Chain A
């Protein structure tokens, strides 16, 4: 317990100091924070609940569009903004920008949560691969449909408000870094708190055998919806921040990017280890470092690498890094091991 506290404080200090120690990587670090948030929240229903969703990208994209729309719509007419070149005629003052961002982020978190609650009842009743394909369809449908809506920029995209001039050039990166780091801490604290309660056990029961859990008197549907809503809340927040960070929203390439972000969050959670607290965090960090390296040195081949990576991870590494560590050092995970039995099993393999 004491070790853990030191670890957390160490990470917190590192997190706060990071943008000043590595000033060139501020944007990358913010993206890493967003990725960790996405992987961790995917893990709530993907890893703990056993409902493998490809559709969390829906909430992410929804949050992105909502945050930007609110930020613009609070002060200027949205339709004129999204017309080609319209964003150049209006300029946010710093106070307008931050007010809009704050309200936008609240909306971006709340609305996806409500959406998740509304569609949850019908969609979470699906099981197994039907659920996976249905959520995949939802994500792609949202992307295709938002690409046809004029007021949020349709096919030509939506430029989010540029960061206002507040004196220093570094302030944009620092603002977004601390914003995303704050959301990351918020997510981690929430998820950690959830994982110590009965709620997590119920989610695990649903994963292991849903019918049995229902027979034991658990209202599985209620807990499934709550689990999904928690995911949606943080996905929306992450989307809102990412919209401001990227500065430009396109329906299928940035917001509802099922081919990239939608798979990334699944992959990160699996790489780190599904159903663990630290797995998605480690997975996201490793994945992001790998990805950035690849994107820089093998530009153009990144999707080929991504496809190969997915196949390799899924086939040879489905337990993830945490699963591997757990097999290697079970004592560290508080598991009592019968050494004889373990040796016998290793020999059998």
Chain B
């Protein structure tokens, strides 16, 4: 336990800013999860592994001498097709089935991806160095790497583009219609199979963007996927499906929480605190809902 955070206000400011920039990235991943959850009613445990795979794409570009920031454009394109492939091979067989079946199936995909990435890229913690330098704030008391600011900016840009795409384009309208009522959409001539595939592809592409940004700002490792899945799940249940400002806000909140947990409890408890927070949130939600049920009685 270390309460230095509260004795030196500048550390708190640092933690808050770090957390917000990190949280925007989480919100981007959570947006993808909310999308597929809302449309297909599937919880994808492999979400985090798609993120890490996107990160490796950027890392490889870095290894071959291309600036990793270009990964932000290349990763989603590749990941879109990876997502479609996963959908065609596995997900379309579990869409209509019991929820637990889909959780278990994506868990299997997650294990598969983890291990394949471990073979392909090795078990080292890597990062793609972007050479963006740092920004000093408040009399040099707060240090912000420019890569974090860059990644937050790009995430917001992608999120806005996607929202506009969902509102305006034909596919976006079809996706929203399927989310509201798949059967009715089918009757009205929407090819729901195609919509599902596209949704999963878009989700994977978003994961690819987030992963590329994470490989620039933080580090990636083949086994680091599950925490990202849990974070995005947590953000979605706090915000609710289809509530974009809520997703952004709870993403930032989670980021700030994590930074403070990191300072107070120590880095070794960081991931543990995320998972514990998930359990606490679910329990809180359960008691809130049960109280509502009692009102109805």
B253-288 CB contacts (< 8 Å) to partner A: 266, 268-269, 271-272, 275-276, 278-279, 282-283, 285-287
Pick the contact of A314: B99, B105, B285 (CB < 8 A). B105
Q: How far is the CA of A275 from the CA of B275 in the complex (A)?
A: 30
Q: Which of B101, B114, B237, B271 contacts A144, CB < 8 Å?
A: B271
Interface status of A246 (Cβ within 8 A of chain B): no
- Residues of A with C-beta under 8 A to B276: 137, 141, 145
Q: Is B75 an interface residue (CB 8 A)?
A: no
Which A295-343 residues have a C-beta within 8 angstroms of B?
A: 300-301, 303-304, 306-311, 314-315, 318
- In the complex, whether B230 has a CB less than 8 A from a CB of chain A is yes
Question: Are A308 and B94 in contact, CB atoms less than 8 angstroms apart?
Answer: no
Instruction: Indicate with 1 or 0, residue by residue over B96-127, a CB within 8 angstroms of chain A CB atoms.
Output: 01011101110111111111101100000000
On whether the beta carbons of A137 and B230 are closer than 8 Å, the reply is yes
Give bound CA distance, A132 to B286, whole Å: 14
> Does B43 contact A314, Cβ atoms closer than 8 Å?
no
Q: A123-B283, A144-B271, A144-B272 are in contact. Are A128 and B105 (CB under 8 A)?
A: no
Within 8 A of B (CB), among A113-172: 122-123, 125-126, 128-130, 132-134, 136-138, 140-141, 143-145, 147-148, 154-155
> CA–CA, A130 to B284, complex, Å?
12
Q: A318 — nearest CB in chain B belongs to which residue?
A: B101
Tally chain A residues at the interface, Cβ within 8 Å: 41
Contacts of A267 on B, CB cut-off 8 Å?
A: 104
Query: Whole-angstrom distance between the alpha carbons of A75 and B54 in the complex?
Result: 52
* In contact, A315 and B290 (Cβ under 8 angstroms): no
Contacts of A306 in B (CB 8 A): 108, 111-112
B111 near A310 (CB under 8 angstroms)?
Answer: yes
Asked if A222 lies at the interface with its beta carbon under 8 angstroms from chain B, I say no
Q: How far is the CA of A145 from the CA of B271 in the complex (A)?
A: 9
Q: A125-B286, A129-B103, A307-B108 are in contact. Are A134 and B278 (CB under 8 A)?
A: yes
Any A CB within 8 A of the CB of B88: no
- Cβ distance A220 to chain B, nearest Cβ, rounded Å: 13
Minimum CB–CB distance for A84 against chain B, Å: 17
Are A148 and B116 touching (Cβ within 8 A)?
no
B233 within 8 A of A: yes
CA distance A12 to B94 in the complex (A): 40
CA distance A154 to B269 in the complex (A): 11
Cα distance A307–B230 in the bound complex, in angstroms: 19
Please indicate the chain A residues that have their CB under 8 angstroms from the CB of B268 in the complex. 144, 147-148, 154-155
Report how far A126 CA is from B97 CA in the complex, Å.
20
Residues from chain B with a CB closer than 8 A to the CB of A308 are 108, 112
A contacts with B: majority SS? helix
Query: In this assembly, does A43 line the interface, its C-beta being within 8 Å of a C-beta of chain B?
Result: no
A69 on the interface (CB 8 Å rule)?
Answer: no
From B237, which residue of chain A is reached at the shortest CB distance?
A130
- B interface residues, tally (CB under 8 Å): 42
Contact with B along A259-275 (1 / 0, CB 8 A): 10001001100100000
Give complex CA distance A136, B233 in Å. 12
Please pick, from B93, B107, B266, B275, the residue contacting A310 in the complex, using a CB distance under 8 A.
Answer: B107
Residues of B with C-beta under 8 A to A307: 108-115
Is B90 touching A315 in the complex (CB atoms < 8 A)? yes
**C-alpha gap A300/B108 in the complex (Å):** 17
Interfacial chain A residues near B101, Cβ < 8 Å: 314-315, 318
- Shortest C-beta distance, A61 to chain B (Å), equals 13
Give the distance in Å from the alpha carbon of A140 to the alpha carbon of B278 in the complex: 11
- A6-54 contacts to B, CB under 8 A, are 52
* In-complex Cβ contact of A145 among B94, B272, B283 (8 A): B272
Minimum CB–CB distance for A277 against chain B, Å: 21
In this assembly, does B197 line the interface, its C-beta being within 8 Å of a C-beta of chain A?
no
Given the complex, which residues of A lie within 8 Å of B213, measured CB to CB? none
**Shortest beta-carbon distance from B84 to chain A in Å:** 17
Q: 1/0 per position for B179-223, CB-CB distance to A under 8 A?
A: 000000000000000000000000000000000000000000000
Determine if A141 and B275 form an interchain contact, defined as CB atoms under 8 angstroms apart: yes
Counting chain A CB atoms within 10 Å of each CB, which of B94, B109, B275 scores highest? B275
- List of B residues within 8 angstroms of A314 by Cβ: 94, 101, 104-105, 108
Cα–Cα distance between A148 and B268 once the two chains are bound (Å): 6
> Is the beta-carbon distance between B103 and A132 smaller than 8 angstroms?
yes
A253 → B minimal CB distance (Å): 11
How far does the Cβ of B241 sit from chain A's closest Cβ, in whole Å?
Answer: 13
The yes or no answer to B226 lying at the interface (CB within 8 A) is: yes
12 contacts between A and B (CB under 8 A): A52-B103, A123-B282, A129-B43, A129-B103, A130-B282, A132-B100, A137-B278, A154-B268, A259-B114, A306-B112, A315-B94, A315-B101
**Chain B interface residues (CB < 8 Å from chain A):** 43, 90, 93-94, 97, 99-101, 103-105, 107-116, 118-119, 226, 230, 233, 237, 266, 268-269, 271-272, 275-276, 278-279, 282-283, 285-287, 290
Q: 8 nearest interchain CB pairs?
A: A307-B112, A310-B108, A144-B272, A141-B275, A303-B115, A307-B111, A148-B268, A311-B108
With A52-B100, A130-B282, A140-B272 given, name 7 new contacts (CB 8 A): A126-B286, A133-B43, A137-B282, A145-B276, A148-B272, A308-B112, A311-B109
Binding site for B on A (CB under 8 A): 52, 122-123, 125-126, 128-130, 132-134, 136-138, 140-141, 143-145, 147-148, 154-155, 259, 263, 266-267, 270, 300-301, 303-304, 306-311, 314-315, 318
